[in-house]
């Protein structure tokens, strides 16, 4: 029963559900978990480091990556391009690392299409009214943008059934959702289809 390749975990859900905080919490408790770094054409901010926060690329490089199948999913936001490089993920998985990423819902479904073995986790706030409050609280969007985001969120909720897990992030107990995600990360490696035939054969005859 040898250690196989790592597992790919995709945490998604409506904007403002608390993905960033939870994934950050997970990374601190599971040091063997690698975070999938996105590529972006957005200019680097002073506090950001290349290859840690993003792979900062030119429009030309981004286009080349996308056309050559080098991106698992991509999107445009605020006039900039964002995408998930396939190469970094595949390398990490084959080295036995688990990888976690937090794309938008459409991106998550694109990843599942490319990697049917990926584990898709849908994260929702405990009350939808909270989503509005959270968006208001972070003060990064106008009221119009918030209305649009809530509309998108409603659309995204319709995709829940295509995910593997649904985790509720209770605003007043964020540690609970981190523990729930940890349990999923831990349990998934024991699912029977994760074991290659030869590892089970070893159990049978050893």
The bridge status of strand 80-85 relative to strand 38-40 is antiparallel
- Segment near a second copy (CB under 8 A); pick from 3-11, 73-81, 141-149, 179-187: 179-187
Place of tokens 């981190």: 178
The bridge status of strand 54-56 relative to strand 38-40 is parallel
Q: Which of residues 30 and 53 has its CB atom nearest to a second copy in the complex?
A: 30
Q: Which of residues 141 and 164 has its CB atom nearest to a second copy in the complex?
A: 164
Query: Residue 100, SS3?
Result: strand
Q: Give the contact letters, 83-122, x = binds to a second copy (CB under 8 A), - = no.
A: --------------------------------------xx
Does residue 44 bind a second copy (CB under 8 A)? no
Does residue 166 bind a second copy (CB under 8 A)? yes
Q: What are phi and psi of 203, to 5 degrees?
A: -60, -40
Residue 40's alpha-carbon distances to 45, 88, 145, 151, 205, in angstroms, are 12, 14, 22, 25, 50
Alpha-carbon gap, residue 34 to 85, rounded angstroms: 14
Q: Indicate which single residue of 45, 158, 172, 198 sits in contact with a second copy (rule: CB under 8 A).
A: 158
Does residue 32 bind a second copy (CB under 8 A)? no
Q: Give the residues lining the site for a second copy (CB under 8 A).
A: 1, 121-122, 124, 126-129, 154, 157-158, 160-161, 163-168, 179-180, 182-184, 186-188, 190-192, 195, 200, 203-206
């Amino acid at each position: 029963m040898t250690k196989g390749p790592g597992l790919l975990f995709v945490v998604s859900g409506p904007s403002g559900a608390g993905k960033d905080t939870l994934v950050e919490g997970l990374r601190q408790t599971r040091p063997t978990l690698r975070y999938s770094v996105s590529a972006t054409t957005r200019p680097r901010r002073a506090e950001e480091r290349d290859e840690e926060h993003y792979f900062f690329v030119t429009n030309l490089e981004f286009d080349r990556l996308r056309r050559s199948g080098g991106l698992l999913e991509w999107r445009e936001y605020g006039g900039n391009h964002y995408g998930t490089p396939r190469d970094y993920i595949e390398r990490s998985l084959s080295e036995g690392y688990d990888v976690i990423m937090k794309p938008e819902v459409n991106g998550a479904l694109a990843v599942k299409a490319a990697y049917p073995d990926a584990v898709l986790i849908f994260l929702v706030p405990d009350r939808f009214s909270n989503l509005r409050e959270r968006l208001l609280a972070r003060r990064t969007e106008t009221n119009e943008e918030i209305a649009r985001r809530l509309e998108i969120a409603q659309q995204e909720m319709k995709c829940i059934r295509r995910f593997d897990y649904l985790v509720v992030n209770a605003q007043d107990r964020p540690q609970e959702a981190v523990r729930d995600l940890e349990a999923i990360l831990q349990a998934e490696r024991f699912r029977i289809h994760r074991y290659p035939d030869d590892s089970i054969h070893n159990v049978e005859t050893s």
